[in-house]
Amino acid sequence: AGAYIAIHFRAGDRPAFGVDIVDWADNRAPVEAVLASLSCAQQVERDLGLGSDTKWILAADDVAVFHLPQVLAWRQSGKVVTLYDEEDLLGVRPRPVHLAAVSGASPRSGGEFGYYPTIGPPLRGVGNFTDSVRGVADTWVEYLAISRAYVAVLSSSGFGITAAQVGGVPHAFNGADCLRMDLSEA
């Protein structure tokens, strides 16, 4: 496997945790905003002289991203690769699960263990524990894929940014405006 571009799109807490899972949910971007990240990947691929056969791995916290006509076309062409196939996207496989939303794994507000700060209302888990663990395992696979990329096109998200930092990704860009990100000091 050669160099690839990892694209991480973060729509916000409501898609990541599920509707009404948390009261303080944010909506960072509409799913259509992923198109700017795909355009950035195309520009970066050209600017870095990567071949047109370079694969793009797309990770997102909202499966609606994978149903956009442009994303479907890129997937059908083989350019965009996701962890999920068509059956998965129809709900056969557990959806991606935010790491903080694993059912039964997150402390309550105020901390059941006495040392977690109170940052908001308690998280209510996503689905049952088995589905949550399966979904979060897939999320870790996406994290590792981002960390091993040659190029990362990232959203405003600690998940993608830390993955790129941990892996020492040599080229990182903000997906919204395609500006180069310096992750060396972050």
pLDDT digits (tens, 9 = 90+) for 138-182: 778 889 999 999 999 999 888 899 999 999 999 999 999 999 999
Do residues 167 and 151 lie in contact, with contact meaning Cβ atoms separated by under 8 Å?
no
pLDDT tens digits, 16-56: 555 545 555 555 667 788 999 999 999 999 999 999 999 99
Output the CA angle 176-181-184, nearest 5 degrees: 155
Residue 119 has pLDDT above 50, yes or no: no
Please tell me the predicted confidence (pLDDT) of residue 100. 56
- Token pair for 99: 């790491």
Distance CA 98, CA 101 (A): 5
Q: Which of 49, 2, 44, 10 is nearest to 27 (CA)?
A: 10
- Report the pLDDT averaged over residues 97-116: 46
pLDDT at 111 over 50: no
Buried b (16+ CB within 10 A) or exposed e, 129-139: eebbbbbbebb
Q: Which pLDDT does position 58 carry in this prediction?
A: 94
> Quick one: pLDDT at residue 83?
79
Residue 154 tokens read as 């990232």
- DSSP, res 123: P
More confident residue, 89 or 75: 75
